[in-house]
Structure 1
Amino acid sequence: MSDKPTPKRTEKLQLMLDDQELKTIDDWRFENRLPSRAAAIRELIRRGLAVDDQLEPPEEAPSTDFRVVES
C-alpha cells in the first residue's frame, strides 16, 4: 500500500437499487471477500472505469434504463 494519506470522503451518493440488483452486488461482495457493500461498489466502479472496450451509453435515455443486471 502507498504511504500517501487517503483523501477524506466528503461526498455522499444516494443510489436506488431493486432487490435483484442489490443481491447481485452483495453476492459479488461476499465472493470477493470485500469488507463492506460500499467497498464493493467502489471496486466495481473502479473496474468499470478501467475497461477499455466500453459500450457507448444510450443517448437521452432515462435513468430507469440503466440497470445493474438485466431483468
Structure 2
Amino acid sequence: MAEAHPPKRTEKLQLMLDDLEMAAIDDWRFANRMPSRAAAIRELIRLGLETAPMLEETPVDKASTDFRIVDPDQAKDG
C-alpha cells in the first residue's frame, strides 16, 4: 500500500520583518531545534492559530505596520 503524502506546498508568502523580529524567530527556532526558518515560522503560525483567542474587535483602523512580532521599545528596555 502506498504511503500518503501531505499536499505539495504551492503558495508563497512574502513577509517583511525587521532585525528584532527576525532575531526573535531565529532564537525560537534554535531553542526548539527546528530544521529551518520556514518550518519554525509554520510552527509558530500553527501554535498561534491553535491557542490564540478570536479577536473581540476587528482592528479595522490599524495599518499593517502596526502589527509587530517584537515591540522595539520593549526590546530596548530588555
Same fold (TM over 0.5): yes
Residues in 1 aligned to 2:40 and 2:53: alpha-carbon distance in whole angstroms? 22
Residues 1:37 and 2:37 aligned together: yes
With the length of structure 1 as denominator, give the TM-score of the two structures: 0.86
Which digits, 9 at most, give the CA deviation of each residue in 1:9-61, with x for residues without a partner?
00110000000000000000000000000000000000000015344452231
Q: Unaligned stretches of 5+ in structure 2?
A: 73-78
Identity of aligned residues (%): 65
Residues in 2 aligned to 1:14 and 1:52: alpha-carbon distance in whole angstroms? 23
* RMSD, matched Cα: 1.5
Hey, which of these two has a bigger chunk of helix by percent? 2
Q: How many pairs were matched up?
A: 69
With the length of structure 2 as denominator, give the TM-score of the two structures: 0.79
Q: Unaligned stretches of 5+ in structure 1?
A: none
Residues in 2 aligned to 1:52 and 1:68: alpha-carbon distance in whole angstroms? 14
Larger Rg: 2
